[in-house]
Structure formats: C-alpha cells, structure tokens
Amino acid sequence: MSTATATRDRLVAADLMEDGTLLRLTLDRPPANVLTMATVGELGAALEAHRARPELRLVVLRGAGKHFSFGASVEEHRRDQASAMLANFHDFIRRLAAYPVPTAALVDGQCLGGGFEVALTCHFLFATPRASFACPEIKLGVFPPVLAALGHQRFGGLVSERLVLTGEAMGAATAERLGFLTALFDAGDDAGERLLEWYRRTLRPLSAYALRQATRAAREASGLLAALDRALAAAERLYLEEVVPSHDGNEGLEAFLAKRRPEWRDA
C-alpha cells in the first residue's frame, strides 16, 4: 500500500509488441505504481481494448522504475471509499482471471498488497532477485481478500494462511522454491528481454486460437474462477461488514497515513 497520488494523466502505458502478439501493460506511476481506482480502471480498459485481437498470445504486466507496485491506495481503504474501492479492484481481478489469453507479471522490487494479488492472478510470474512479495494488510488492521480467496490454490493452505495472518514478505528465492515463479532471472539480466526470449521460445510458435481454448479450460477446470465468484464475494462481505466499521480496521489505516504507531483496542 502507498500514499502516493496521481499527478500525470497517463497511469498505464500499453504497448503492442512482437507483431501484435504480445501486449505489455506498464504501471507508469513510479516509484510506487499505486493501484488507485483510476489506475485499475485504465488497466481494465487496456485489457478490454485488446481482448478480441485474434493474434494475441500473451499480456505482460510490469511496473515502471524499481518496483512492481506498493499496492492499493491506503486513502481509498478508508471507510468512505472502501466499498467502491473493493468493488472496483475485485471486478478487475475477476476480469483479469477470466481474460481469454495467458497473462504474466514481471516483478522487480516490491510487489505488495493489491500488486501481489494482481500477480497472484496471472498465469505466469517472472521475477528478478530483487523481487519481494507481501500482503502487509494485517499490520494495518485489515486483511487481503483476494489472497484469502486464492492463496490456497496458488500456494497451498499453510503458505497462504501464513502470508495472510502475518503479512510477512516472501523473497524471490522462496517464491521460486514454492513453485510460484515461472522463472527467476539472474541478477544483472535485462528482465524484459529475458521474458521476450521465453515468450518467443514457448508461446509465440503456438496457435493463438488453441491458447485461448486452453486458457479457458484451465481456468474453469481449476476452480479458480469459481473461487473468485463465491470465496472472494464472501471475503469482501466480511471486510465491509466487520472490518470497515471496526476501530482497529480504521486505526491501522490512519496510523499508517500519520506515520505513527497504531493504538489497537482489539475490536
């Protein structure tokens, strides 16, 4: 999460590459690349604009600068905006999960909160040795609904619950050992070029039509889309009905914004 606010018109850069077969979407708000509702809206619009492109084989999400994303805006987690923020973000996650072609996240530096949940939703995840993954929401008196709903599918229950309940960070080497990463690039590599090499070797030679059918089959059969329907809806409802009205759910956010230690009441 971050307190950064937008000052430029463009929040997401979209580039078609490899003869239109690869779409690269860059969160263009360094250094934090905060996922405000406006940024999420631009990401969704960029995905929708290229959804029907028949030759498209892969969408790559990355962050400009030294970090992928510090996550969703803390300000937008406040009581008066929480409902709209969650609806906006969860709608995007569902659309990303059901996107008709494979998606990938290329992570360098910090990948936190909602940024981690976006990466969690992608089919492929590439990282540099500097990458670090965490959902630190519990430290602010709240919890990450998407990780709670999907983590057990992506990591297994023990790892997912540890990440949700502690907010601890997971380094790139640990993520690789857990099988979370498609590839961990070497230090000093041009990560973008290495990902292109992987794409040219694996997905580029394949039928875009066959990839669409396989993507749909894999997502429907895995139960991931069903989890985003029922489990995420239940987590969102719990967040709005129990966390948002609570003292601690607001105290943690306000303490973070004021850069002070929270005063918990355990209620």
| First-last CA distance in the chain | 23
Q: Average per-residue pLDDT in the chain?
A: 95
Q: What is the rounded distance in angstroms from the CA atom of residue 244 to the CA atom of residue 186?
A: 42
Residue with tokens 């057990």: 152
Q: What is the rounded distance in angstroms from the CA atom of residue 120 to the CA atom of residue 86?
A: 17
pLDDT, tens digit, for every residue of 179-210?
999 999 999 899 999 999 999 999 999 999 99
Take residue 53 and report the two structure tokens written for it: 């492109």
Domains of the chain: 12-187+210-258 (3.90.226.10)
Query: Is the separation of the CB atoms in 232 and 117 below 8 Å?
Result: no
Q: What is the rounded distance in angstroms from the CA atom of residue 143 to the CA atom of residue 123?
A: 24
**Mean local confidence (pLDDT), 27-47:** 97
Instruction: Look at residue 89 and tell me whether its pLDDT is greater than 50.
Output: yes
**Mean local confidence (pLDDT), 25-34:** 96
Q: What is the rounded distance in angstroms from the CA atom of residue 114 to the CA atom of residue 24?
A: 19
Instruction: Look at residue 30 and tell me whether its pLDDT is greater than 60.
Output: yes
Q: What is the rounded distance in angstroms from the CA atom of residue 112 to the CA atom of residue 132?
A: 8
DSSP labels for 111-179? EEHHHHHHHHHSSEEEE-TT-EEE-GGGGGT---HHHHHHHHHHT-HHHHHHHHHH---EEHHHHHHTT
Residue with tokens 């929401």: 137
Q: What is the rounded distance in angstroms from the CA atom of residue 124 to the CA atom of residue 110?
A: 18
Q: Above pLDDT 90, what percent of the chain? A: 93
In the DSSP assignment, the letter for residue 67 is: -
pLDDT, tens digit, for every residue of 40-68?
999 999 999 999 999 999 999 999 999 99
State the pTM of this model.
Answer: 0.94
